[in-house]
């Protein structure tokens, strides 16, 4: 059997073949960073890594589902609260509650995806907006368990013997590495190929047995699970969860991060989004009102700028239906 010799790595089609050198170099640098940087940076970057994971979840929905979500803060919240509640009621640390959080996120993804499976485009976007606005109401209603406005603390160490500061840095970093690698591998899977095809042509995919309902549910379940992992790590890194951290604005900012990263599923891209999301409020701490202005401006700059690019580059970046 003669095999076709793989063509030179085409950046656009097919699962990437070679090694991601930039990502690996960046990863190595980040792994060594605490040796050089102080506590402020390790804390901030820990949050940044966790945000980057949630942004990956948003980008996942755009890339594989062709949809835009302004409600992903909810899935992150589910992950965060799972960790906090597991600590409060079961006494377990992040190592046990993280997988629970992922499952919870996946389940919520399916629960939301099922009634909204036939919605798309703007209707789905409005539904995700409603989801994001409904979350604080639910959290506040069950204040007894969720701690109401004040929320809950996450105090348990995950790795005994290692300083809290280092845990808050390395666990989210490890999480980010893991998610990026999982997504890289996912791209080669038959599920990924089915999802990408059904975005191009639903009739074609259906003629090969791929159902729209399955595609939507799978996409949201996977995305919800990833976002929940990010949320869980956010809770661990910041040591608190409260409804304030998961408002509609949070979800919109997550979308901004995703757009700024050009919906990238790579380490570099997600970090660009994560850094943008985490550092901007800190840098502008004194002038908080500039934050939404800067986010809004960045969003528009990226969207309008991408629009000015040639069609072939744009097709790769944008996540719309063909």
Sole window of 51-59, 148-156, 228-236, 303-311 interacting with other proteins (rule: CB under 8 A): 303-311
Binding mask 80-119 for other proteins (x = CB under 8 A): -----------------------------------xx-xx
From candidates 90, 204, 282, 283, binder to other proteins by CB under 8 A:
204
Strand partners, 240: 153
User: For 89, which DSSP code?
Assistant: I
Within 16-45, the residues that bind other proteins by CB under 8 A are none
The site string for other proteins over 224-263 (x = CB under 8 A, - otherwise) reads: ----------------------------x--xx--x----
Given candidates 149, 189, 282, 309, which one binds other proteins under the rule CB under 8 A? 189
Segment near other proteins (CB under 8 A), from 52-60, 91-99, 188-196, 231-239? 188-196
Q: Which of 37, 90, 303, 309 binds other proteins (CB under 8 A)?
A: 303
Q: State which residue, 4 or 285, has the beta carbon closest to other proteins.
A: 4
In the DSSP assignment, the letter for residue 8 is S
Distance in angstroms (rounded) separating the CA atoms of residues 246 and 75: 9
Q: For other proteins, which residue of 47, 68, 100, 217 counts as binding (CB under 8 A)?
A: 68
Task: Return the number of the residue (169 or 276) whose C-beta is nearest other proteins.
Answer: 276
Concatenated DSSP letters of 243-280: GGGGSHHHHHHHHHHHHHTTT--SHHHHHHHHHHHHHH
Q: Which of 22, 25, 149, 188 binds other proteins (CB under 8 A)?
A: 188
CB 103 within 8 A of CB 86: no
Identity of the residue, 49 or 263, whose beta carbon is nearer to other proteins in the bound complex:
263
Q: Residue 112 corresponds to which tokens in the numbers above?
A: 């939301």
CA neighbours closer than 13 Å in the CB half-sphere of residue 22: 5
Residue whose CB is less far from other proteins, 91 or 307: 307
End-to-end CA distance of the chain: 36
Q: State in angstroms the smallest separation of the CB of 104 from other proteins.
A: 16
Of the pair 237, 278, the CB lying nearest other proteins is at: 278
Out of 55, 194, 227, 275, the only residue in the binding site for other proteins (CB under 8 A) is 194
Q: Which of 103, 110, 193, 279 binds other proteins (CB under 8 A)?
A: 193
* Integer Cα distance of 284 and 278 in angstroms: 11
**CB closer to other proteins out of 49 and 112:** 112
For residues 173 and 181, the answer to whether their CB atoms sit within 8 Å is no
100 closest CA partner among 84, 112, 83: 83
Classify residue 28 by burial, with Cβ atoms within 10 Å: 0-12, 13-18, 19+. Answer: exposed
130-149 residues near other proteins, rule: CB under 8 A: 130-131, 133-134, 136-138, 140-141
Give exposure, 127-165, as e/b (b: 16+ Cβ within 10 Å).
bbbebbeebbeebeeeeeebbeeebbebebebeeeeeee
């Amino acid at each position: 059997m003669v095999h076709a010799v793989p063509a030179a790595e085409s950046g656009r089609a097919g699962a990437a073949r070679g090694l991601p050198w930039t990502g690996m170099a960046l990863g190595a640098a980040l792994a060594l960073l605490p040796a050089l940087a102080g506590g402020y940076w390790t804390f901030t970057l820990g949050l940044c890594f966790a945000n980057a994971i949630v942004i990956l979840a948003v980008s996942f929905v755009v890339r594989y589902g062709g949809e835009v979500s302004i409600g992903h803060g909810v899935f992150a919240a589910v992950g965060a609260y799972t960790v906090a509640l597991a600590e409060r009621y079961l006494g377990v640390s992040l190592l046990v509650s993280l997988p629970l959080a992922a499952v919870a996120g996946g389940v919520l993804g399916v629960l939301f995806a099922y009634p909204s499976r036939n919605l798309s485009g703007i209707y789905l976007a409005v539904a995700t907006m409603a989801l994001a606005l409904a979350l604080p109401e639910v959290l506040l209603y069950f204040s007894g368990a969720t701690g109401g406005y004040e929320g809950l603390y996450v105090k348990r160490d995950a790795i005994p013997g290692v300083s809290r500061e280092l845990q808050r840095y390395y666990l989210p970093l490890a999480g980010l590495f893991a998610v990026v690698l999982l997504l890289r591998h996912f791209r080669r899977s038959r599920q990924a190929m089915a999802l990408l095809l059904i975005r191009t042509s639903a009739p074609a995919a259906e003629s090969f047995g791929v159902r729209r309902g399955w595609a939507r549910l799978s996409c949201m379940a996977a995305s919800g699970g990833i976002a929940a992992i990010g949320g869980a790590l956010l809770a661990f890194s910041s040591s608190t969860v409260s409804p304030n951290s998961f408002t509609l604005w949070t979800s919109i900012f997550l979308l901004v991060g995703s757009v700024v990263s050009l919906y990238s599923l790579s380490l570099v891209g997600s970090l660009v989004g994560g850094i943008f999301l985490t550092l901007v409020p800190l840098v502008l701490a004194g002038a908080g009102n500039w934050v939404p202005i800067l986010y809004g401006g960045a969003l528009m700059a990226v969207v309008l700028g991408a629009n000015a690019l040639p069609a072939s580059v744009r097709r790769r970046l944008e996540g719309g239906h063909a």
